[in-house]
Amino acid sequence: MMAWAGYAAMAVGLVFLILAGVGVARLPDAFQRMHASTKAGSLGASLVVLGAALVEPDIGLFRAGVTIAFLLMTLPVAAQLLGRGAYMSGARLSGLKGDDPLAKVVAREEVPLEERLTVMGPQAPDKL
């Protein structure tokens, strides 16, 4: 019975991981892609680890719990830091309704990084 629950958890986790991949490929800006990969990716990976622990008793629920806790503590922090870096580099904000709430809090480049690299030409990495 535990094996079936483990297989079900792994299947649901795989669906979330596929949705995260589709979100990264299809969403329009860096912030939405980061949101999709962090939320669905952490839930999917946690379910796969939990399912593996239920199917294979040698892994152990404690080890799986520590792994899941590590995922849930580190992925949101990494996403926040990546989002801050993307915001500061001037990444495009699509779908924002109203004013930018961070405009007076965090310094932001006026021109997105992609456009700055296009304007600079092939020697762009040397000029940054």
Element at 85 (helix H, strand E): helix 61-88
pLDDT of residue 120: 59
Report pLDDT for 49: 95
Within 10 A of 126 (CB to CB), how many other CB atoms are there?
Answer: 7
Q: pLDDT for 67-102, tens place per residue?
A: 999 999 998 898 889 888 888 888 887 777 778 778
Residues 30-41 pLDDT 10s:
888 888 889 898
Domain ranges of the chain: 2-127
Residue tagged 């600079």 (tokens):
120
More confident position, 88 or 118? 88
pTM, full prediction: 0.76
Q: What is the mean pLDDT of the chain?
A: 86
What phi and psi, each to the nearest 5 degrees, are found at residue 121? 90, -165
The predicted pLDDT at position 66 comes to: 95
CA count, 13 A, side-chain hemisphere, 65: 3
Least confident of 16-20, 38-42, 113-117, 124-128: 124-128
